[in-house]
């Protein structure tokens, strides 16, 4: 299965910042102007100080870099059209909060046959393992932070891991690592989002039964390289709405691979909900575009800086 990809702007996502309990800054974030952000004239703040790649009637933060950064652009009143995602920054420097957050994080990996072409070196795996290792260090530094993780994969079906939710600690870390390896091995088949998203809701039903997990922030990290060619938009929308509205999940949607159809891009972006916070003011969906291995690797680093800490 060969997917053709292109980038589409998304105002609701482009201005979101996910610096949860960390004050973070980063570099190398460039993109076209953001929307409805007043008083962002010229170069942006907390970025590398250079103008963005685009111009328009106004300027504002770009993709926003999940660390609260974004470069500006030309213009005067910040009312340009939605900005396209900027590049992921190379560095992250964070100061930990005295009250670190707890998390319930689910990985959902695309296991379709096209992964052999779009991610031949399996950066989705190496990045996820690095993300896991960094969170392992996080809970070691902050014992009050409870982090539960679970792993699913998909092609036209939802593919379960051996275990459900697991509390991240020195014992379980190796088990979660093996779950990630299994979920990113032997890709095959076509693409359908809704079965695995429906399954994810069943997993999040269990959260209140886990010790202290009900106090954590619920996230799905969803990676895919393809158009859901074996699914329907309504089924996907219903599954996403269920996760977000009934289980308080924020979805981090990552479109990977060098080429994407306009329809595929729009569908992946539509997963990045909620656009407005409810329980926590900074608990929001997020969309990332990772067209190559280097950017995907940086995306994983950026995600960790956003959710839990610094490398």
What is the domain range of residue 44? 23-95
pLDDT of residue 132: 95
The rounded distance, in Å, linking the Cα atoms of 182 and 310 is 27
Please state the rounded mean pLDDT for residues 52-67: 34
> Does a structural domain hold residue 254?
yes
Given 95, 118, 133, the domain boundary residue is 95
Q: Is the pLDDT of residue 10 over 90?
A: no
Compute the distance between CA of residue 175 and CA of residue 16 in angstroms, rounded to an integer.
33
How does DSSP classify residue 208?
A: G
Residue 17 in any domain: the answer is: no
- Does the structure show a pLDDT above 50 at 56? no
Single residue among 95, 123, 140 that ends a domain in this structure: 95
Alpha-helical regions (H) of the chain? 11-14, 65-68, 115-118, 123-141, 172-183, 194-204, 233-247, 262-270, 293-307
pLDDT of residue 308: 61
Identify the band that residue 257 occupies on the pLDDT scale cut at 50, 70 and 90: confident
Q: For residues 138 and 53, state if they share a domain.
A: no
173 domain-assigned: yes
Q: pLDDT band at 84, cuts 50/70/90?
A: very low
91 plus 240 within the same structural domain: no
In the predicted structure, residue 215 carries a pLDDT above the cut 60: yes
- The residue-averaged pLDDT of 50-71 equals 34
- How many domains are contained in the chain? 2
Residues 110 and 232 in one domain: yes
Quick one: 31 and 82 in the same domain?
yes
């Amino acid at each position: 299965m060969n997917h053709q990809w292109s980038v589409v702007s998304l105002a609701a996502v482009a201005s979101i910042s996910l610096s949860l309990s960390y004050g973070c800054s980063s570099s190398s974030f460039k993109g076209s102007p953001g929307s409805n952000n007043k008083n962002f004239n010229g170069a942006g703040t907390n970025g590398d100080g250079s103008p963005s790649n685009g111009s328009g009637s106004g300027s504002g933060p770009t993709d926003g870099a999940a660390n609260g950064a974004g470069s500006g652009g030309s213009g005067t009143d910040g009312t340009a059209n939605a900005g396209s995602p900027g590049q992921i920054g190379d560095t992250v420097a964070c100061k930990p909060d005295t009250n670190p957050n707890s998390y319930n994080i689910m990985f959902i990996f695309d296991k379709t046959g096209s992964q052999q072409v779009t991610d031949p070196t399996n950066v989705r795996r190496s990045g996820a393992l690095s993300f896991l290792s960094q969170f392992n260090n996080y809970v070691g530094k902050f014992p009050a932070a409870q982090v539960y993780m679970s792993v699913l994969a998909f092609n036209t079906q939802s593919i379960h891991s051996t275990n459900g939710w697991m509390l991240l600690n020195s014992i379980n870390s190796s088990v979660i690592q093996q779950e990630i390896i299994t979920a990113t091995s032997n890709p095959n088949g076509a693409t359908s989002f809704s079965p695995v998203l429906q399954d994810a809701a069943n997993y999040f039903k269990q959260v209140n039964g886990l010790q202290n997990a009900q106090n954590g922030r619920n996230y799905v990290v969803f990676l895919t390289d393809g158009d859901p060619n074996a699914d329907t938009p309504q089924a996907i929308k219903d599954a996403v709405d269920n996760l977000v509205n009934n289980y308080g999940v924020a979805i981090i949607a990552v479109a990977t691979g060098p080429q994407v159809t306009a329809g595929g891009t729009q569908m992946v972006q539509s997963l990045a909900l909620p656009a407005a916070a409810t329980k926590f003011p900074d608990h929001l969906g997020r969309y990332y575009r990772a067209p190559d291995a280097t950017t995907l690797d940086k995306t994983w680093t950026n995600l960790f800086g956003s959710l839990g800490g610094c490398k």
